[in-house]
């Protein structure tokens, strides 16, 4: 018989008003009708959105039970569309909610290059494989930190290996291949996050008869590398110090396939850009991670416009900060209840150090500015590092109207729009005001930075480096009271560095992926990076002999000094793995 069942693209299928759905919705919710229009002020609409997820879970349970009746050794998994998708609500698939029903975690992660407008970020970023593998690693139990960083002495079992389902083709053009360099980065990013590839290039004929047979050597070489080092890619788990919280309910409420209208996915990816560039080690945290014992493993939490939060989640985050954690939040974080209903005041406003003015966000403001403020606690001046020669920064998008609560430091305020044309009228009507854009405060033993605007989103969409610097400064200040990073490197910002641990052996692996050729599409060969220094907290490894370069097939001398284990990678082309 069959070894298992793979369910292809399970989905609710959008909105349905058939007799079965009308009857089921009424019986299970008590509401007598299914709304015809999307209206988040309507409690019936909000309940309908959640009901579709409940139907999806019920279907998954029934299918899994059907498969397992033929033996517990029969495998079951379903294809779902990658989690940062505006259409996930219509599909009613939430992997975090059904993860225990699958035997492995898998997502279809195809390249998409049409309509990219030479951008490396749209319609999907060139590092999409990394973000998706991070998410599946989390839902499969692969976010792990050892006793030296968690402090809990826990022993965690093996995680499920995340699986990247992909094809040789651009999914918007099934019969032609994407650029070979983009495909090579796709594979490297998958492996760098502890994933496993599943090539599903379905075009109706066997590979020898494909019409476009280019770049097969790219796949052959990478699969040969994985086969040669199979033992090095088994059971890898993360070693991270920062958690980026993903909110499926906020994504339902605010994501859009139009980047100009989106108010969630662009926030998440803007923070991802900043975290990759900082080389800090970070995990994606699905909603199920909101538990005290899980959050305690992380030195900082990032909330990219996590607008939808329950009161219980807000209380948990408050206790996390008071106990010494750092928190960085943006825009309307906490301004909506878990089901998407608007709150009168934000659930985290007291923690963020702001007071709501009771009005909706202003914007878009394409010609506004941030006026920098350097008064107050000298310790917080680090939030404005690198801006010594300017008093203003460019700003745009929406801004949440708030006032700073007593004791909150204000580091930038909103300058309303100054229209650039005509030049003789291009002057500020209101230069000085108290509408905060960037604030900070200490809370208990922890630190909090809040951006009332869309700084994280702008880091993805505006093209100006100031937004990324603000996020970098905020991260550095928020973590100032914590030990040195688990991994430090002088690698360029477009080299992604990920530290993974193999629990069965205790080995550490530093994966380096060079995206320097991916500053636009089509992706071109990367610019080789010269010597790259890496240092790891010596508590993480007992390394005394040479480390190994898996791709180059060479050894590296290891130096132990100052509580760090140090190596120098002599050259990085596209991808390298340092094994400790």
Higher pLDDT pick, 105 / 132: 132
For residues 242 and 283, the answer to whether their CB atoms sit within 8 Å is yes
Higher pLDDT pick, 149 / 378: 378
**Per-residue pLDDT at 155 exceeds 70:** no
According to the model, what pLDDT value does residue 340 have? 96
Strands 282-285 and 495-502: unpaired
Task: Return the structure tokens found at 501.
Answer: 């641990």
**Per-residue pLDDT at 152 exceeds 80:** no
Strands 106-108 and 163-166: parallel
State how far the Cα of 100 lies from the Cα of 139, in Å rounded to an integer. Answer: 9
Strands 559-561 and 508-514: unpaired
**Per-residue pLDDT at 542 exceeds 90:** no
According to the model, what pLDDT value does residue 158 have? 59
According to the model, what pLDDT value does residue 234 have? 92
Average pLDDT over residues 526-547: 92
**Per-residue pLDDT at 157 exceeds 80:** no
Longest Cα separation, the chain: 79
According to the model, what pLDDT value does residue 347 have? 98
| Distance from the first to the final alpha carbon of the chain | 43
In which band, very low, low, confident or very high, does the pLDDT at 82 lie, cut at 50, 70 and 90?
low
Closest CA to 10 of 71, 53, 47, 67: 53
State how far the Cα of 359 lies from the Cα of 344, in Å rounded to an integer. Answer: 9
Cα angle 6-72-67, degrees, rounded to a multiple of 5: 40
The per-residue pLDDT for range 23-77, each reduced to its tens digit, is 999 999 999 999 999 999 999 999 999 999 999 999 999 999 999 999 999 999 8
Give every CB contact of residue 143 below 8 A, 6+ residues apart in sequence.
137, 237, 238, 240, 283, 285, 289, 294
The per-residue pLDDT for range 207-260, each reduced to its tens digit, is 788 888 888 899 999 999 999 999 999 989 998 999 999 999 999 999 998 888
| Number of residues that this document lists for the chain | 580
For residues 79 and 6, the answer to whether their CB atoms sit within 8 Å is yes
Q: What percent of the chain has pLDDT over 90?
A: 73
What average pLDDT does the structure give for the chain? Answer: 92
State how far the Cα of 78 lies from the Cα of 92, in Å rounded to an integer. Answer: 13
Least confident of 171-175, 216-220, 350-354, 551-555: 171-175
Higher pLDDT pick, 200 / 560: 560
State how far the Cα of 580 lies from the Cα of 543, in Å rounded to an integer. Answer: 6
**Per-residue pLDDT at 531 exceeds 60:** yes
Partners of residue 336 on adjacent β-strands:
308, 342
For residues 499 and 510, the answer to whether their CB atoms sit within 8 Å is yes
- List the alpha helices (DSSP H) in 279-367: 292-295, 311-322, 349-352
State how far the Cα of 333 lies from the Cα of 352, in Å rounded to an integer. Answer: 10
Give every CB contact of residue 47 below 8 A, 6+ residues apart in sequence.
29, 31, 339
Least confident of 112-126, 314-328, 353-367, 484-498: 112-126
- Taking only Cα atoms into account, the Rg of the chain, rounded to an integer number of angstroms, comes to 24
State how far the Cα of 256 lies from the Cα of 266, in Å rounded to an integer. Answer: 9
> SS3 for 475?
helix
**Per-residue pLDDT at 553 exceeds 70:** yes
Average pLDDT over residues 2-6: 90
Average pLDDT over residues 500-527: 94
Angular region, 483: left φ>0, alpha ψ -120 to 50, beta rest: beta
The per-residue pLDDT for range 341-388, each reduced to its tens digit, is 999 999 999 999 999 999 999 999 999 999 999 887 888 899 999 999
């Amino acid at each position: 018989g069959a070894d298992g069942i793979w369910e292809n693209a399970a989905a609710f299928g959008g909105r349905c008003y058939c007799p079965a759905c009308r009857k089921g919705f009424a019986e299970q919710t008590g509401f007598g009708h299914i709304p015809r229009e999307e209206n988040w002020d309507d409690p019936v609409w909000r309940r309908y959105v959640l009901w579709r997820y409940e139907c999806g879970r019920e279907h998954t349970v029934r299918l899994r039970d059907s498969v397992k009746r033929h033996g517990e050794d029969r495998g079951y998994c379903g294809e779902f569309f990658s989690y940062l998708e505006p259409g996930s609500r219509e599909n009613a698939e939430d992997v975090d909610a059904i993860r225990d029903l699958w035997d492995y975690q898998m997502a279809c992660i195809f390249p998409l290059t049409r309509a990219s407008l030479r951008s490396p970020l749209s319609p999907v970023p060139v590092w999409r494989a990394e973000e998706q593998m991070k998410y599946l690693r989390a839902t499969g139990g692969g976010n792990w930190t050892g006793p030296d960083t968690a402090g809990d002495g826990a022993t965690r079992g093996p995680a499920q290996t995340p699986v990247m389902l992909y094809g040789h083709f651009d999914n918007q053009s099934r019969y032609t291949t994407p650029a070979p360099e983009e495909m090579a980065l796709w594979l490297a990013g998958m492996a760098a996050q502890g994933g496993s590839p599943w090539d599903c290039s379905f075009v109706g004929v066997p590979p020898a008869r494909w019409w476009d047979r280019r770049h097969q050597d790219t796949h052959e070489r990478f699969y040969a590398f994985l086969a040669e080092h199979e033992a090095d890619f088994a059971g890898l788990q993360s070693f991270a110090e920062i958690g980026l919280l993903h909110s499926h309910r906020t994504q339902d409420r605010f994501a859009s396939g139009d980047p100009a209208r989106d108010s969630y996915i662009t926030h998440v990816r803007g923070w991802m850009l900043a975290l990759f560039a900082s080389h800090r080690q970070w995990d994606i945290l699905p909603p199920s991670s909101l538990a005290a014992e899980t959050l305690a493993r992380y030195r900082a939490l990032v909330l990219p416009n996590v607008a939808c939060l329950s009161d219980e989640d807000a209380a948990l985050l408050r206790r996390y900060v008071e106990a010494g954690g750092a928190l960085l939040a943006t825009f309307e974080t906490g301004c909506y209840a878990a089901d998407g209903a608007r709150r009168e005041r934000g659930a985290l406003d007291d923690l963020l150090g702001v007071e709501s003015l009771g009005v909706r966000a202003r914007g878009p403001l394409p010609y506004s500015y941030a006026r920098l403020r350097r008064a107050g606690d000298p310790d917080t001046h680090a939030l404005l590092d690198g801006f010594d020669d300017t008093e203003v920064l460019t700003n745009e998008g929406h801004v949440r109207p708030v006032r700073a609560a007593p004791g909150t430091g204000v580091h930038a305020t909103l300058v309303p729009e100054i229209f650039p044309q005509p030049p003789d009228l291009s002057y500020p009507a209101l230069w000085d005001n108290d509408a905060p854009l960037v604030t900070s405060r200490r809370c208990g033993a922890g630190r909090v930075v809040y951006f009332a605007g869309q700084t994280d989103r702008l880091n993805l969409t505006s093209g100006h480096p100031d937004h990324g610097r603000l996020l970098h400064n905020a991260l550095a200040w928020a973590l100032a009271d914590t030990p040195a990073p688990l991994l430090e490197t002088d690698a360029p910002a477009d080299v992604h560095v990920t530290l993974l641990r193999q629990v069965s052996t205790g080995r550490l692996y530093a994966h380096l992926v060079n995206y320097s050729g991916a500053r636009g599409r089509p992706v071109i060969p990367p610019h080789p990076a010269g010597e790259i220094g890496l240092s790891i907290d010596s508590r993480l490894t007992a390394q005394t002999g040479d480390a190994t370069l898996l791709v180059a097939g060479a050894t590296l001398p290891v130096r132990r000094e100052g509580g760090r284990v140090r190596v120098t990678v002599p050259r990085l082309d596209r991808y390298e793995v340092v094994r400790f």
